[in-house]
Structure 1
């Protein structure tokens, strides 16, 4: 059976996954990190009136054409506009944010004005029309779409809504994700290890990433290598969750039940991918939930979650997903690789003294060696049919996003 490429796997998954429909309305102060469920339309202009960008003097160019010295007719402060009669051959003292007096063509900053003993002011430069005036609707016009559906609400977008007087926002309901680990050799973190046992770091890592993605996590713990128990937990999990994620059990060993159970209680869309690490990744559909099966090796589990599950969660959550940033860098050391699979090696990139982007591998690249992630800030992405890379060759790097940063 030929192995699917990463691109083929993503296309297959994203083409069958539905967009969410369940929404709720929240006050904006409760909506941080939620996903906007509909386009947000501005009900007002911002600014809502012409106002000054500087402390200075509002002027009419026609007056300055006759004399660069004008008397001061009054003042305009933020929240307290000038209301007196604005006679010819005069200026209005104005503060930043204050309403522009009707008829003004420009604001001259106070540093370009000399105040005379008789109270008049002399302008040292002739302003251009519109100088230092913020026009109504210059930032946002009434009726503009200020946020698209699918936008994550954060410290940039929520204050924007507040500035428009929008107090509530419709958001998609958070995704419910069930997490299970498989294997008699696994022990919860914090308990002593016996001979042949290892800590269940995968479930811990997956939960941390799910929390960063703001999912509701349902932890089903460690499942024993018993097919009946596995199937029972599997069915319970898919009744309660939108997405079920398992770790381990998708290989070909005698105790690897995930594929068998998935074929019995649902359908498997694909099972093996042409990527390294992470070949035994499974994706399928259950009666009430979608399913992603991660490999048991810690690095493989993290890589497949990052590359495959992350966009799945974005689609099911309603988030407009941004592809990770990929750049070209020069390898500063030899990279070992065999042709046949797309390879994600852990690396550390930096900019050298000449402004050149360089990258070096971090530690050994075995799929069981997790410590290298702590020292990494990117994946070195080596093409499927590429072989060994010599120092000095150009490679593609993928910068870690907030999930790993």
Structure 2
């Protein structure tokens, strides 16, 4: 059997004419698995944002490298607090000042304190810092209430953030802004990353106009290529724009062969339904190992996935995602299915490749829904003090209405077995932030 057939056979209740969202996600997770990238390169840390780590980064140092103060205040031996009454006042003699960037080398006796700045090395024998705002200072003496702290307060321990010899980041993690800072804290100027995933994409259809063409009756401008470009660029892929391909079998075959030779994955929009002019379906079946689905979802019902072989001996088949033609359906199917699959192909671990987490929000207004399919409705979420955030359906929900996608900041996910939603009911929302 073909690989597509093998995956389908392993899925319980597989029905290509009525496939649930969960089954599609499980199918794509297996299809993408063999295509995980292995080629690695070392690049400058400043160029690594959004890239996927090719190997663990092991900390060469402890962070912080020494015990240090978490506050501006006075460092002292916390044993002095033991046995004191709750209303007692502690009085210590100040014998010096410890500044950040240089260890204080003086001697500290019983009942002594050292004025200390945030980040300064804790003097030997001292383990507690009283913040300066709790203190009264008179000459060389500092006083504070014993109840203001406990022994060990306001001290950062050596290795508290990262311990020398331990993994700081794991292979398969995406390098975020926070990760950039953490790697920099280890003193590492270069990081090992997997090469970028190459994704080719094109739109199909005689009714599609390229930007700059004069309008004509029955035609619409190609929005999908620009949406897909933005989604892939934000994902960190190397994008290959193959433009607009007309409803001509020879042109479609040529575009798919070129895409497979140049890219790891291919995304098309349009041509996967059963219309008389939808040649993409027939050409895909002739060229590759394909599965065509009717997904139990709205929007985004028709979809195709498969493998398109290439004649290059150094590269396996390209994974193809044939998306619907309607603009909103393209975005929804990308978020629900394509994005997690591409992340897995990029070499991301399971946590990084998972779909965006769902936010729980309260619906403002009723939403009609029949069980038996998953629906994704565009919504706008707003915070509510002391309660769940509220989500309001954003504009016209037609699958060709891009304006409602622009107005929304998330997708209200109405699950397969879920029925209608009453005003005030809680619902799940897939937020867009950092994705669209």
2:323 — aligned with what?
294
- The yes-or-no answer on 1:309 pairing with 2:341 is no
Q: Does 1:324 align with 2:356?
A: yes
Q: Is the counterpart of residue 74 in structure 1 residue 106 in structure 2?
A: no
Counterparts of 1:246-261 in structure 2 under 5 Å? 246-261=268-283
Q: For residues 75 and 7 of structure 1, do their structure 2 counterparts lie closer, same or farther at Cα, with a shift above 3 Å needed?
A: same
Residues 365/96 of structure 1: CA separation in 2 closer, same or farther (3 Å cut): closer
Q: Do the aligned partners of residues 397 and 54 (structure 1) sit closer, same or farther apart at CA in structure 2, a change above 3 Å counting?
A: closer
Task: Give the RMSD, CA atoms, in angstroms.
Answer: 2.5
Could you tell me whether the CA contact under 8 Å between 1:75 and 1:81 is conserved in 2? no
| Change beyond 3 A, Cα 1:335–1:130 | closer
Work out whether 1:240 is the aligned partner of 2:269: no
Q: Does the aligned pair in 1 maintain the 2:94–2:142 contact within 8 Å?
A: no
In terms of mean alpha carbon deviation, does 139-148 or 61-70 score higher?
Answer: 61-70
1:213 is aligned to 2:235 = yes
Aligned residues of 1:188 and 1:199 also touching (Cα < 8 A): yes
- d(CA) in 2 for partners of 1:115, 1:143: 43
Q: What does 1:374-385 correspond to in 2, within 5 Å?
A: 374-385=406-417
Question: Once the two structures are superposed, what CA deviation does each residue of 1:50-70 show, in whole Å capped at 9, x if it has no partner?
Answer: 222233333335678999555
The aligned residue for residue 121 of structure 1 is 141
Give me the whole-angstrom Cα distance separating, in 2, the residues matched to 1:149 and 1:197: 47
Counterparts of 2:235 and 2:381 in 1: how far apart (Å)? 25
SS in 1 for 2:27: helix
Structure 2 residues not aligned, in runs of 5+? 1-15, 310-316
Change in Cα spacing, 1:355 to 1:128, as seen in structure 2 (3 Å) is closer
Deviation at 1:21, TM superposition (A): 0.8
Change (3 A) 1:61 1:286: closer
Instruction: Return the TM-score normalized by structure 2.
Output: 0.85
Question: In structure 2, what is the Cα distance between the partners aligned to 1:85 and 1:69?
Answer: 18
CA spacing shift, 1:47–1:396, aligned 2, 3 Å: closer
Return the TM-score normalized by structure 1.
Answer: 0.91
Residues of 2 paired with 1:313 and 1:371: CA distance? 26
Which residue number in structure 1 is paired with residue 300 of structure 2? 278
User: Any residues of structure 2 matched to 1:37-56 within 5 Å, and which?
Assistant: 37-56=54-73
The aligned counterpart of 1:188 is 210
Distance 1:78 1:230 in 2: 65
CA distance in 2, matches of 1:384, 1:291: 26
Shift of the 115–377 alpha-carbon distance from structure 1 to 2, 3 Å rule, reads closer
Find the aligned partners of 1:56 and 1:344 in 2 and give their Cα distance: 54
Say if 1:178 and 1:218, in contact at 8 Å, map to a contact too: yes
Contact persistence 1:73–1:87 (CA under 8 A):
no
Q: Secondary structure at the match of 1:360?
A: strand
